[in-house]
Amino acid sequence: MKYAVFSDIHSNYEALKVCLDKMQELKVDGYAFCGDLIGYGPNPEECTKAIMKLKNFIAVMGNHDVCLFNKDFSRWFSEYASKAMIFTSKKLSSKSKKFISSFLTEYQGPHFSMVHGSFSDPYRDYLLTPEQFIMNLSKWEGNVCFVGHSHVPFIMSYREGHIPQIDVFYGRDVSIKLMPGVRYMINPGSVGQPRDTNPLASFGLFDTEKNIFRLIRLPYDIKSVQEKIEALKLPQILSDRLPKGI
């Protein structure tokens, strides 16, 4: 099967539409979403409706998603993230909120596992270090695990008896053959708010038969998203950082 692997849409419909069109062009069989459909951006309802149409869709909940239903998580949010969540909650329909509430905390399936942050702390941990990889190793099964949250595309690989290796993709398209006997944690980057200094939307393609992961970067209409953010009087930083990829 070919899975589109994506994360951190953050209510950016322009970026999502470009990615979904590419996924359709690639004729994917399923969709694996690593969390944070909402937050920050101007189009939470439009993004949710688009995602609801996908077939064979598996999703885990991100920290912004869970904040819809548990306000305690807003304690760890910046002021601008909190303001965006208030806007988001008002804009989402009851049907969309119910759909987001169905997302899993974590997923472990026959081809891959998936969590937003880490299995130690799904909504707050930014899994970035070899030490965190080792701490989470016993908490998921199989050889491939997808994560989100940091908005930075990377691959961590581990062979028993060795130190985990980290390769940050730094905005480049790349295809990687996943080797037997090696365990991988892979972040496909962010659809709607990349933070690797490259503003291009980011997602992955995982071919379970060929055992290949491909990272894909795509341009989208950033200016249009900025104009929406500014018209809605959302915090200015949410507009300013999009073209910088930070």
Residue 37 has which token pair?
């459909």
Q: What is the pLDDT of residues 181-237, one digit of tens each?
A: 999 999 999 999 999 999 999 999 999 999 999 999 999 999 999 999 999 999 999
The CATH code of the domain that includes 226 is 3.60.21.10
| Residue found by looking up tokens 């880490």 in the block | 118
Mean pLDDT, range 104-128, rounded to an integer: 96
**Rounded CA gap, 126 and 166, in Å?**
14
Q: What is the pLDDT of residues 86-108, one digit of tens each?
A: 999 999 999 999 999 999 999 99
Residue-range definition of the domain harbouring residue 200: 2-244
3-state secondary structure of 95: helix
- Cβ atoms of residues 142 and 115 within 8 Å: no
pTM across the whole model = 0.97
Tell me the longest C-alpha to C-alpha distance in the chain. 54
Number of domains the chain contains: 1
**Rounded CA gap, 35 and 130, in Å?**
22
The rounded mean pLDDT for the chain is 96
List, as one string, the DSSP characters of 170-232. Answer: TT--EEEEPPTT-EEEEE---SS---SS--SEEEEEEETTTTEEEEEEE---HHHHHHHHHHT
Q: What is the pLDDT of residues 36-68, one digit of tens each?
A: 999 999 999 999 999 999 999 999 999 999 999
**Rounded CA gap, 13 and 45, in Å?**
9
